[in-house]
Amino acid sequence: MITEIQILLNDQIKYEAAASMQYLAMASWADNAGFSGVAEFFYAQSEEEKAHMTKLVKFVNERGGIVTISALEKPVDEFKNLNSLFEYFLKSEIFVTEQINKVIYECLQHKDYNVHNFMQWYVTEQLQEESTARTLLDKLNIIGDDKTGHYLFDRDIIAITAAVE
Ligand code: OFO
């Protein structure tokens, strides 16, 4: 495996792991704040990111590359309210998309069409996750500070998410 690509894929493994831990922290925040629907949403997101990480680890190993598991920074675990929680979600997803674009760019530079092809799955996934994050944030912006609105958002988040996907 081309060294530059291997470095980027190992970075990506770290970003997916960091996203998993970040969403776990967000799930826990929501759980504590009494938003059980939002908590379930982020527990599930955390599991998804872990699966994305493992998929990359397996791919690098299958291709004869060397996987490096990096230490992670402590995730952000304090949020002012639901809006700031979902703003952070969107910000995290945008960051991951940018990193995936870097991998894709590098694959094209090195004509590594195998990794390029593998990464298309992540491109599609990011598109969907960013769209989910934007839809949920739009809804929260409409709700504003209304407590009843937050209650209903928490109750309906799984249904809203299913509608986006
Ligand atoms: Fe790994 O899917 Fe988003 O970040």
**pLDDT tens-digit map of 68-109:** 999 999 999 999 999 999 999 999 999 999 999 999 999 999
Q: Is the CB of 125 under 6 A from ligand 1?
A: yes
CA–centroid distance for 114 within its chain: 23
Q: Is the CB of 154 under 6 A from ligand 1?
A: no
Count up the domains in the chain and report the number: 1
Q: Is the CB of 112 under 6 A from ligand 1?
A: no
* Stronger pLDDT, 50 or 162, i.e. the higher one: 50
Q: Is the CB of 53 under 6 A from ligand 1?
A: no
CA–centroid distance for 22 within its chain: 9
- Model pTM? 0.95
Which residues are CB-contacts of 115 (< 8 A; sequence separation ≥ 6)?
A: 1, 5, 9, 63, 103, 107
Which ligand 1 atom is nearest residue 49's CA?
Answer: 1
CA–centroid distance for 113 within its chain: 24
Q: What distance in Å separates the CA atoms of residue 30 and residue 96, rounded to the nearest whole number?
A: 22
Predicted confidence at residue 164, as pLDDT, reads: 65
> What is the rounded radius of gyration, in angstroms, for the C-alpha atoms of the chain?
17
Distance 125 CA to ligand 1 centre (A): 7
pLDDT higher than 70, residue 35: yes
| Model confidence pLDDT, tens digit, residues 114-148 | 999 999 999 999 999 999 999 999 999 999 999 99
Distance 148 CA to ligand 1 centre (A): 30
**CATH code (residue 7):** 1.20.1260.10
Domain with 15, as residue range(s), is: 3-69+78-164
Q: Is the CB of 49 under 6 A from ligand 1?
A: yes
| Model confidence pLDDT, tens digit, residues 138-147 | 999 999 999 9
pLDDT higher than 70, residue 165: no
Q: What distance in Å separates the CA atoms of residue 148 and residue 107, rounded to the nearest whole number?
A: 48
Upper half-sphere CA count for residue 8 (Cβ side, 13 Å):
21
What does the mean pLDDT of the chain come to? 96
DSSP 90-115: HHHHHHHHHHHHHHHHHHHHTT-HHH
Residue in the block written with tokens 């309906």: 156
Residue in the block written with tokens 């952070």: 88
